[in-house]
Structure 1
Amino acid sequence: MKQYQDSNKWFYADLLNGLFPYAIILVMGLLIFGPSLKFNFLNFDDNIYVYENPFVQSGLRWSNIIKAFTESHGGHWHPLSWISHMLDVEFFGMNPFWHRGHNIFLHILNTCLLYLLICPRLLPKWLALLAVCIFLVHPLRIESVVWIAERKDVLSVFWGLMTLVFYFQYTNTARARFLFFSLLSYAASLLAKPTFVTLPLLLFLLDVTPLRTLPPASKRMSIFEKLPFVVLAFVSTTTAILAQNHDGGLKDVSAYTLASRFNNVPTSYLTYLGKLIWPESVAIFYPFQIYPPGIGMGTLLGLLALSYLLYHQRRKQAGLFLGWLWFLVSLLPMIGLIQIGGQAYADRWTYVPHLGLIVGLVATFHSSGWPSKKLYVFLVAYITLLSVKTLHELPNWKDSESIFRHTLVVSPDNFMAYTNLGRALEEQGRISEALENYRRAVHLRPQYPTALNNLGSALAKTQRFPEAKEYFQRALKVAPDFISARYNLGLLEFYTGNLDLAERLWQETLEKDPHYAPAIESLRHITSTALPH
């Protein structure tokens, strides 16, 4: 009996010891990101994904699920992300507390999965915990976690990490069911967002780096095993490009020249490296910038030299070499050669690339002969500094006005920030301030249709109809499929007595988007004396 009690005691001790790192991750995640639960929705993408999305607003319905898989929205095809937002609406309505809490929960789960993957495979227990805590609390995680629209990031990475968990189970046991579960998880990851579209190449890197040396026959088999992953990645990439092209998200060379996009690649890599070490400034949008060719070329040569050095140290520093390759490869889809949107880079795009780089750097410190006590003190101090920085940055995200005012401090000539700040002010009834911000946005980016449309809308509210009409027409000239501008032009024509023209414009709006509720409602009122809403 005593022997049984002793073994039972040791069992529970081992269980608690095994769960302790996960408890630390949970507590730290809640302490750092918990204050954001009281924040509001943002008027930048949260509207597209949640509170103005017609097939999310009504919650989880079969018709909405079908639409999520058969229609793109806002230039994106992210059916699993749409469904996750539907679940939030179904259970919690439009309360941002629970929507954001869902993001925080997924981020904590992702950190736990990362710990599961690297301990003890790459790092001993406590070093692995410190490495994942760097990832957990880093200020660059704010965008993916606190911004509700970025559910797609944390959800995609959750299923991507589950893909790795099942894949490593497969490589350890050679049981086909784990490969099948890995493929299912990868499909789910891509359905949330093609964040892990480079995963087939990353899996191959995990096989051939010194961390897992395979004999030639096994390497050939390893290539065949990746083919289903490659097929899924190809289908996802094609679908994403078609969805973006359908809604005008892809920018051609006339918007950003091929030379400027190539020049932006090495400078973006350098920016992401610097922000990993210390993110001095964090904003929601960084406009595309044209750098002198010498800066891009010099940065590229520096990155190539660093890659060459790490390649020659790959036997001694296998973890760092793998982390560097992970960083380079996983950033490729977001690096800007195919330009989507007007940003040069984005903090959320570091969510996957920094996973490998952080682990690789900590592994290098561990293998370089640092005294354990000094290394632990250094990492704890670094995590503390990152946590303080994150808590300092967090209040900037409490609402639309706060985040875009902060973004203008970080990036003064930011057309997107002026546009969305103007919208936030307009929603508060501060029309004159909104007009000022819209005009600044149009001055910085004369061909930006959203700023043109918003300026026209604000002018119409001040009864300046001729000037408002001019801006609606300019917006449609730049973007003929811009349904909001077409609807607003119809609304202006209605208020100025041109009922036939208003009706035609609203019908054209519905031809482009049959579900556009304002146009549907306005056409119902066109024959009555009531004004449309």
Structure 2
Amino acid sequence: MEPQVKKLSNQMTTHHSPPTTHHPPPTSHYAPLIGLLLVLLTLCVYYPVRQNRFVYLDDNLYVTANPDVQVGLKLGTAVRAFTTTTAGNWHPLTMLSLELDSTLFGQNPAGYHLTNLFLHAASACLLFWPRAWVAALFALHPLHVGSVAWVAERKDVLSGLFWMLTLLAYVRYAEAPSWPRFAWVFVALALGLLAKPMLVTLPFVLLLLDYWPLGRFVLVSGEWSVVSGVEASGKSNGENSPGCASPLTTHHPPATTTVWPLLREKLPLFALAVLFSAIALLAQHREHALRTFAERPFSLRLENAAMAYVFYLGKLFWPAGLAPFYPYDPTGPSLWAVAGAVGLLLGITTLSWRERHRRPYLAVGWLWYMGTLVPVVGLVQVGNQAWADRYTYIPSIGIFMMLAWGVPQVLASLEAVGRIRNLFSTRVRGRVLIFLGVATVAACAIVAHIQAGYWQNDVRLWEHTLQVTKRNDVAHNNLGTYLANTGKLDEGMKHFAQAATINPGNDQAQVNLAKGFWLQGRRSEAVQRLRAALEVNPVNAEAHVQLGQMYLQDQPEQAMAHFQEALRLHPGEAGMLSTFAQALTARGRFEEAAACLAEAVELSPNWPSSHYQLGSVLCRLGRREEALASLQKALDLAVAASQEQLRTRIQEQIEACRRQQSSMGEG
């Protein structure tokens, strides 16, 4: 066995093995100070988010209108975090963290925003091990503002923290592989997947890190081979190529001759990724969040994916015109644009692969970027966005790594050029690197601070979005929703109309227009809009509910049919059961209404309105003891959730029920 290992080591030297881990990580006495400065700078840049409000962009689904989060972290809500989905996603750890915030901060958005900020700062600290500049760009790049300043993106910053913990656990495992150390890797990955399934690509990234910087395998004569860190570092290029120096110190097990051991050790991690991928797809399918191929042809998805990779690259280098939502162009990009994007991606991929021996950070960083974007690049289309800034939260690290090792090596190579050798001496090169590092971090900090201010409230966010994007029907719809909900119905209707004009297929804008027309007494126009919404999206349950309410007075049979269809589309959903119970109550079918409400209360026991409805119906049925118990439960929940208007109505209903009880007693 010994001669084989010796021969393999010689082959690695001949075939330019990637520089490995004989250079220590940045653990000088300046490292703690730099890390502290990075945390303070991150907190300063993002600290204004404490004044931001909740926004009408999933914050209602995750916090303000979520009954479990409103109640806070309790045994029942913790169990339901694992047994229910939110906005078509199953991420129980994210919901637990929001429930904890509710317990600590109530409905004060400052607490939620600061939690996001601290999680983001912690992730930046954990990323400090490769190079401080990578961590600084991750912490302060404007593309990451949405993940920090948007409460509903708790899943991003929380899963990002577990991504970093998994990397650190894996580095420790690679030093001395053992089952206890691997267990920490497995647990960290599992927790990250419980926060957001974006981590399904992490096992793939660990395999990349095995190549560089861990140096656990190399290409020998076109074949993959696994090597030990000591052997690989015996004659590494790192000494002659300072830009390639690895940031980690490792001590690997004896060499083998195939890559299979590295794949085999990760099989539990890949299995975990497959399991959570299946769960995510199932949850999105049940909530009708997945777009069909009829809606988004696969050819259009491929074109958009190519454009997305280039779009994100452009925003990484020039983060201007950022927005929370970029509309999907149904006509697709031009052929020339797609050809240019594909050519650019193939060119970078080819260059990175050709340089995999001399500059392994290029291949690793580029494949990190390309691979981690796969789940969100649009091949599996969820929602209507073409791309989203938040999707770069983890993938951007790959580009930062390419720059962090590539720029110093470019400057080092300039020193060898005769005419400019004196201009790029070692001392000058160091000063240039410091200048470039400080300048880029400062520029990112300034732009990120400005960008965070746009998330202050719905008006600033959506008005800014309309300024920097074109034909954005979602921005119009969301701004209109905020205006309508704050008593500015006429202004809101203008934005709903613009959204429907830009995209007649925006069924939510059609529904909002219908609700506005209904409030204005224009029933026929409201019905027309709802029918248009159902033509575009027959599974829009809210459109069925609204039609049911409009038909309830004069066409009760049609109304009940729409309510039943809405309930079929969302079986076992407390909100739909409560709405159906309202229709049953209006028709005098109190026993059936009580049964629906009892099921709704069982499904969402922390929803005060369901308890209130149940108490009111039970009071009509003469079951006043049960009614008072339900009403008291509703009152306690409404007080805990600071729902003052509902609290007043519940108190009035309790008094009415008690008066009935007293009159019956006297009788």
Normalised by the length of structure 2, the TM-score is 0.72
| AA at the equivalent of 2:371 | V
Q: Post-superposition shift, 1:298?
A: 2.3
Deviations 1:112-159 (CA, angstroms, capped at 9, x unpaired): 11113x1xxxxxxxxx22331122111101110001100001111111
Letter matched to residue 96 of structure 1: P
Find 1:161's aligned residue among 142, 161, 164: 164
1:362 maps to a residue whose letter is A
Q: 1:343-366: per-residue Cα shift (whole Å, max 9, x none)? A: 111100000111122022111122
Tell me, in whole angstroms, the C-alpha distance in 1 between the residues paired with 2:169 and 2:283. 30
Q: Answer yes or no: is the 8 Å Cα contact 1:39–1:397 preserved in 2.
A: yes
Superposed counterparts of 1:153-192, under 5 Å: 153-192=156-195
Shift of 1:180: 0.4
Letter of the structure 2 residue corresponding to residue 251 of structure 1: R
Structure 1 residue aligned with 2:244? none
Gap change, CA 1:55 and 1:500, over 3 Å in 2: farther
Corresponding position of 2:357: 315
Alignment partner for residue 344 of structure 1, among 374, 386, 406? 386
- Equivalent residues in 2 for 1:21-60, closer than 5 Å: 21-60=34-73
The question of whether the paired residues in 2 share the 8 Å contact of 1:475 and 1:485 is answered with yes
The aligned residue for residue 109 of structure 1 is 122
Q: Identify the residue that residue 386 of structure 1 maps to in structure 2.
A: 444
Kept after mapping to 1: 8 A contact 2:321/2:469: no
User: 8 Å contact 1:284–1:346 — kept in the other structure?
Assistant: yes
1:227 aligns with 2:267: yes
Query: Shift of residue 505 of structure 1?
Result: 4.3
Tell me, yes or no, if structure 1 residue 404 matches structure 2 residue 446: no
Q: Distance in 1 between matches of 2:190 and 2:105?
A: 27
AA of the residue aligned to 2:350: Y
Matched, 1:429 2:487: yes
Listed as ranges, the matches of 1:467-478 within 5 Å are 467-478=525-536
Contact 2:159–2:195 under 8 Å retained in 1: yes
Number of the residue aligned with 1:304: 346
| Aligned equivalents of 2:461, 2:581: Cα separation in 1 | 33
Determine helix, strand or coil for the equivalent of 1:252.
Answer: coil
Matches within 5 A, 1:80-479: 80-116=93-129, 118=130, 128-209=131-212, 211-212=214-215, 213=217, 214-215=226-227, 216-217=256-257, 219-289=259-329, 290-368=332-410, 369=412, 371-479=429-537
Q: CA deviation at 1:201?
A: 1.2
- CA gap of 1:16–1:50, structure 2 versus 1, over 3 A, is farther
Q: CA 1:208/1:455 → structure 2, altered by over 3 Å: closer, same or farther?
A: same
Corresponding letter in the other structure for 1:440: Q
1:184–1:447 distance in 2 versus 1, CA, 3 Å: same
1:516 corresponds in structure 2 to 575
Task: State the 1:16 CA deviation.
Answer: 7.4
DSSP-derived class of the 1:198 partner:
helix
Matches within 5 A, 1:485-500: 485-494=543-552, 496=553, 498=555
Report the Cα offset of residue 177 of structure 1. Answer: 1.1
Partners of 2:476 and 2:43 in 1: how far apart? 32
In 1, the alpha carbon distance for the partners of 2:324 and 2:137 equals 21
For the residues of structure 2 that align with 1:242 and 1:166, how far apart are their CA atoms? 30
The code of the aligned residue for 1:295 comes to A
Tell me the CA shift for residue 488 of structure 1.
2.3
CA distance in 2, matches of 1:85, 1:222: 37
- The change in CA–CA distance for 1:312 and 1:424 in structure 2 (over 3 A counts) is same
Q: Distance in 2 between matches of 1:15 and 1:314?
A: 29
Q: Distance in 2 between matches of 1:363 and 1:269?
A: 22
Is 1:20 equivalent to 2:62 in the alignment?
A: no
Number of the residue aligned with 1:121: none
Q: Which position in structure 1 is the counterpart of 2:603?
A: none
CA distance, structure 1, for counterparts of residue 445 and residue 31 of structure 2: 25
State the match for 1:123 in structure 2: none
* AA in 1 matched with 2:278: T
The CA distance in 2 between the partners of 1:307 and 1:471, in whole Å, is 49
The answer for the alignment partner of 2:85 in structure 1 is 72
CA distance in 1, matches of 2:556, 2:93: 42
User: Structure 1: how far apart are the matches of 2:505 and 2:96?
Assistant: 34
**Residues 16 and 298 of structure 1: CA distance in aligned 2, closer, same or farther (over 3 Å):** closer
Helix, strand or coil at the partner of 1:344: strand
In structure 2, C-alpha distance between the alignment counterparts of 1:62 and 1:478, rounded to whole Å: 41
**What is the deviation of 1:500?**
6.0
What amino acid is aligned across from residue 58 of structure 1 in structure 2? V
Give 1:179 shift: 0.6
RMSD value over aligned CA atoms? Answer: 2.4
* Distance in 2 between residues matched to 1:409 and 1:36, nearest whole Å: 21
* Aligned residue pair count: 509
Cα distance in 2 between the residues matched to 1:501 and 1:301: 56
Q: Encode CA deviations 1:170-219: one digit per residue, 9 max, x unaligned.
A: 11122321110110111111111111211111111111347513334473
* Between 361-370 and 433-442, the greater mean CA deviation after superposition: 361-370
1:378-425 CA deviation, whole Å, 9 max, x = no partner?
110111111111122222111112111111111120111111011011
Structure ranking higher in helix proportion: 1
Which residue identity does 2:368 align to in structure 1?
W
Amino acid aligned to 1:462: Q
Distance 2:442 2:290 in 1: 40
The AA in structure 1 aligned to 2:117 is I
Tell me if the contact between 2:116 and 2:149 (Cα under 8 Å) persists in the aligned partners: yes
Deviations along 1:90-112, whole A, 9 cap, x unmatched?
Answer: 22111110011111011001101
Kindly tell me: are residues 325 and 15 of structure 1, through their superposed partners in 2, closer, same or farther at Cα, counting changes over 3 Å? closer
**2:386 partner SS:** strand
Residue equivalent to 1:5? none
One-letter code of the match for 2:405? A
Q: Which stretch of the first structure deviates more once superposed, 45-54 or 229-238? A: 45-54
Corresponding letter in the other structure for 1:229: L
Distance in 2 between residues matched to 1:186 and 1:417, nearest whole Å: 35
| Cα contact 1:509–1:519 (8 A) shared by 2 | no
Q: Tell me, yes or no, if the aligned pair for 2:193 and 2:276 is still in contact at 8 Å.
A: yes
Secondary structure (helix, strand or coil) at the match of 1:485 reads: helix
* Cα distance in 1 for residues equivalent to 2:133 and 2:286: 44
Larger deviation: 499-508 or 245-254? 499-508
Q: Deviations over 1:469-493 (max 9, x none)?
A: 2222332343343332222223333
Q: CA deviation at 1:62?
A: 2.4
Q: Secondary structure at the match of 1:516?
A: helix
Residues 1:526 and 2:613 aligned together: no
- Compared with structure 1, are the counterparts of its residues 210 and 66 closer, same or farther at alpha carbon in structure 2 (3 Å cutoff)? closer
